[in-house]
């Protein structure tokens, strides 16, 4: 670090609000893309597993292996094929969400009591109506719990993509801060990424309680 | 040239094996850093886990702290520590931030699994130990720890795999380790080097996982092992 460089320069933050905002926006965009794509893939995989239970080990096992590969190594494996790009970053980020999301979607759907399913069948619901109107609403809290873990993990991992030329707030931490010997940028990036993780978690929890008003009513009466 | 040819050509250069920037010194650096951080984490986390598991005091606080610790992004921790220690000679810039971040990463699973392991011990076994006149430390050493050992070792395994995998990031600050091969590979647009680096990290993480799983089997108290397995082994 250059001698005399203070740990924090408030004036830099004020002068560079646009740059900071842009990186924050990138970070949100990369996280949202990974979680949404990861959720769509996981949802399809979970429905597939429910149709053929024999696939459970194969799907969960593969997702488990992907999850165990260190993030920087997974990026490195992909670079020879997809280059130093947004796509490389997103493929890796999406793969890390699969294990958590598939497992929680399955857990959620399996948590629906058999009597409820029977009641729905007795009311003449088709399989599709039963899934969307009965099973998913009941599974929602467990599914959202998975989404929360996946989102918080992804917010942390997006920073690492700074090492392959992406990174959102990770760009401030690594490129501007560490490589540029400029602590202020590192602190801004690190603190904002923690704040973003906390905010995303609270947002999802809020969305869940909005989508499942009955669970709020129940906790209010008891 | 395909990737396989590039990797083969890269591997055929002896300097890439034992040279100062070769795989072997990088692997040793990686193991040294991971081993040091694990040792530090064990020294800190094991007594905490044993204490809250044995007494049941402070459990809620410790578990909550562990959960928060697990959510901290490693790169963020490295970034926050680095400016504070950068001017400490000789390791302040390149090593201390990574050691802090990796140790912080390793502590929570050890605390929570040690605690959970001790809590699972059958209260009757502890009662029996007390009845035999054991003092608290004897109880811990002779009854609780042996019975909780599988869970304690599971905690060590989770920590060790995470530390070995994440030690890759230490290279961001110019420390060595296998992450160096990946980061240099990216900087030099040398696909072979970064591919080999990634492969070594992945293999090392898997080897750590398997090694600790084997340790868990060997270290489990004979009384905890499945009886039929032991009998069939004796038959063979």
- Rounded to the nearest angstrom, the minimum Cα separation between A156 and chain B is 5
Domain that holds residue A149: 10-214
Q: Is the pLDDT of residue B236 over 70?
A: no
Residues in contact with A166: Cβ distance below 8 Å, sequence separation at least 6, in sequence order: A26, A30, A85, A86, A89, A158
- Residue A218 or residue B132, greater confidence: B132
B182 closest CB neighbour out of A76, A159, A186: A76
Number of domains in chain A: 1
pLDDT for the residue numbered A45: 97
- Rounded to the nearest angstrom, the minimum Cα separation between B61 and chain A is 19
Per-residue pLDDT band for B222 (boundaries 50, 70, 90) equals: confident
What is the pLDDT averaged over residues B60-66? 84
- Rounded to the nearest angstrom, the minimum Cα separation between B149 and chain A is 24
In a domain, A197, yes or no: yes
Partners of residue B205 in chain A, C-beta under 8 Å: 68-70
pLDDT tens digits for range B34-53? 999 999 999 999 999 999 99
Report for A26-35, B46-55, B83-92: range of highest mean pLDDT: A26-35
- Rounded to the nearest angstrom, the minimum Cα separation between A17 and chain B is 20
pLDDT for the residue numbered B90: 82
In a domain, A27, yes or no: yes
pLDDT for the residue numbered A23: 97
Confirm or reject contact between A73 and chain B (CB < 8 A).
yes
> What's A76's domain CATH number?
1.10.3720.10
Q: Pick the range with the lowest mean pLDDT from A10-19, A145-154, B219-228.
A: B219-228
Give CA torsion, residues B177, B182, B185, B186, to 10 deg.
-130
Which residue's entry shows tokens 């990088």? B26
Interface of A with B in 108-127 (CB under 8 A): none
What is the pLDDT averaged over residues B66-77? 80
Domain ranges, ordered by start, for chain B: 3-235
Q: Is the pLDDT of residue A99 over 70?
A: yes
Confirm or reject contact between A28 and chain B (CB < 8 A).
no
Q: Is the pLDDT of residue B231 over 60?
A: no
**Nearest residue to A194 via CA among A222, A170, A212:** A170
Contact criterion met (CB < 8 Å) for B186 and A79: yes
Residues B54, B56: Cα–Cα separation, whole Å: 6
Q: Is the pLDDT of residue B21 over 60?
A: yes
Partners of residue A88 in chain B, C-beta under 8 Å: none
pLDDT for the residue numbered A160: 92
| pLDDT > 90: percent of chain B | 63
Could you tell me which CATH number the domain at B3-235 has?
1.10.3720.10
**How much is the CA Rg of chain B, to the nearest whole Å?**
22
In a domain, A137, yes or no: yes
What is the pLDDT averaged over residues A150-179? 92
What is the pLDDT averaged over residues A134-148? 94
Confirm or reject contact between A208 and chain B (CB < 8 A).
no
Q: Is the peptide bond before B23 cis (omega within 30 degrees of 0)?
A: no
Q: Pick the range with the lowest mean pLDDT from B17-26, B143-152, B216-225.
A: B216-225
The sign of the dihedral angle between the CA atoms of A11, A14, A20, A22 is negative
Residues in contact with B145: Cβ distance below 8 Å, sequence separation at least 6, in sequence order: B50, B118, B152
A190 closest CB neighbour out of B79, B84, B182: B79
Q: Is the pLDDT of residue B200 over 60?
A: yes
Asked whether A150 and A35 are in contact (CB, 8 A), the reply is: yes
pLDDT for the residue numbered B235: 40
User: Would you say how long chain A is, in residues?
Assistant: 222
What is the pLDDT averaged over residues A190-219? 87
- Rounded to the nearest angstrom, the minimum Cα separation between A217 and chain B is 28
Q: Is the pLDDT of residue A202 over 60?
A: yes
- Rounded to the nearest angstrom, the minimum Cα separation between A42 and chain B is 22
- Chain B residues bordering chain A (beta-carbon distance below 8 Å): 3, 71-80, 82-84, 86-87, 93, 161, 165-166, 168-169, 172-173, 179, 182-183, 185-186, 191, 194-195, 197-199, 201-202, 205-206, 209
The sign of the dihedral angle between the CA atoms of A81, A84, A87, A91 is positive
pLDDT tens digits for range B113-151? 999 999 999 999 999 999 999 999 999 999 999 999 999
Q: Is the pLDDT of residue A79 over 60?
A: yes
Confirm or reject contact between A158 and chain B (CB < 8 A).
no
User: Based on the number of CB atoms within 10 Å of its own CB, is B167 exposed (0-12), middle (13-18) or buried (19 or more)?
Assistant: buried
- Residue A169 or residue A212, greater confidence: A169
B202 closest CB neighbour out of A73, A164, A173: A73
Query: How many beta-carbon contacts under 8 Å exist across A and B?
Result: 115
pLDDT for the residue numbered B225: 63
pLDDT for the residue numbered B233: 41
Contact criterion met (CB < 8 Å) for B195 and A80: yes
Report for A18-22, B61-65, B68-72: range of highest mean pLDDT: A18-22
Q: Is the pLDDT of residue B92 over 90?
A: no
- Measure the N-to-C terminal CA separation of chain B; round to a whole number of Å: 53
Number of H helices, E strands in chain B: 12, 0
Contact criterion met (CB < 8 Å) for A155 and B206: no
pLDDT for the residue numbered B76: 84
B198 closest CB neighbour out of A1, A77, A183: A77
What is the pLDDT averaged over residues A68-83? 90
pLDDT for the residue numbered A22: 97
What is the pLDDT averaged over residues A171-177? 93
pLDDT tens digits for range B147-186? 999 999 999 999 999 999 999 999 988 888 999 999 999 9
Q: Is the pLDDT of residue B228 over 70?
A: no
Q: Is the pLDDT of residue B234 over 60?
A: no
A79 closest CB neighbour out of B77, B86, B191: B191
Contact criterion met (CB < 8 Å) for B172 and A174: yes
Mutate to test the interface with A, among B72, B79, B86, B194 (most CBs of A within 10 A): B79
């Amino acid at each position: 670090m250059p001698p005399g460089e203070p740990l924090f320069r408030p004036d830099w933050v004020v002068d560079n609000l646009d740059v900071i905002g842009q990186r924050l926006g990138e970070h949100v965009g990369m996280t949202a893309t990974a979680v949404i794509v990861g959720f769509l893939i996981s949802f399809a995989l979970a429905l597939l597993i429910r149709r053929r239970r024999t696939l459970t080990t194969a799907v969960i096992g593969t997702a488990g292996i992907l999850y165990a590969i260190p993030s920087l190594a997974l990026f490195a494996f992909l670079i020879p094929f997809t280059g130093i790009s947004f796509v490389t970053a997103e493929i890796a980020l999406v793969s890390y969400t699969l294990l958590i999301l598939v497992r929680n979607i399955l857990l959620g759907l399996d948590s629906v009591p058999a009597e409820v399913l029977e009641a729905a069948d007795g009311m003449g619901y088709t399989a599709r109506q039963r899934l969307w109107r009965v099973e998913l609403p009941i599974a929602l809290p467990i599914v959202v719990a998975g989404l929360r873990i996946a989102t918080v993990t992804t917010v942390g991992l997006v920073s690492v993509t700074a090492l392959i030329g992406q990174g959102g707030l990770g760009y401030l931490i690594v490129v501007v801060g560490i490589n540029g010997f400029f602590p202020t940028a590192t602190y801004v990036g690190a603190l904002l990424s923690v704040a973003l993780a906390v905010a995303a978690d609270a947002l999802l929890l809020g969305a869940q309680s909005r989508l499942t008003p009955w669970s709020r009513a129940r906790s209010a009466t008891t | 040239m395909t990737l396989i040819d590039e990797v083969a050509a890269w591997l055929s250069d002896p300097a890439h094996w034992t040279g100062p920037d070769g795989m072997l010194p990088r692997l040793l650096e990686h193991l040294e850093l991971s081993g040091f951080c694990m040792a530090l984490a064990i020294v800190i986390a094991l007594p905490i886990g044993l204490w809250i598991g044995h007494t049941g005091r402070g459990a809620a606080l410790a578990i909550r702290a562990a959960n928060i610790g697990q959510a901290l992004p490693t790169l963020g921790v490295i970034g926050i520590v680095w400016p504070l220690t950068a001017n400490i000679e000789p390791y302040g810039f390149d090593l201390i931030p990574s050691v802090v971040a990796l140790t912080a990463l390793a502590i929570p699973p050890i605390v929570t699994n040690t605690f959970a392991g001790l809590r699972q011990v059958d209260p009757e076994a502890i009662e029996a130990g007390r009845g035999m006149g054991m003092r608290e430390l004897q109880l811990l050493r002779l009854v609780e720890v042996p019975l909780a050992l599988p869970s304690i070792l599971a905690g060590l395994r989770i920590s060790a795999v995470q530390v070995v995998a994440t030690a890759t990031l230490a290279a961001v600050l110019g420390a060595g380790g296998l992450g160096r091969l990946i980061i240099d590979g990216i900087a030099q647009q040398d696909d072979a080097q970064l591919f080999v680096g990634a492969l070594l990290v992945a293999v090392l993480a898997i080897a750590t996982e398997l090694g600790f799983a084997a340790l868990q089997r060997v270290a489990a108290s004979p009384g905890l092992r499945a009886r039929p397995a032991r009998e069939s082994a004796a038959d063979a």
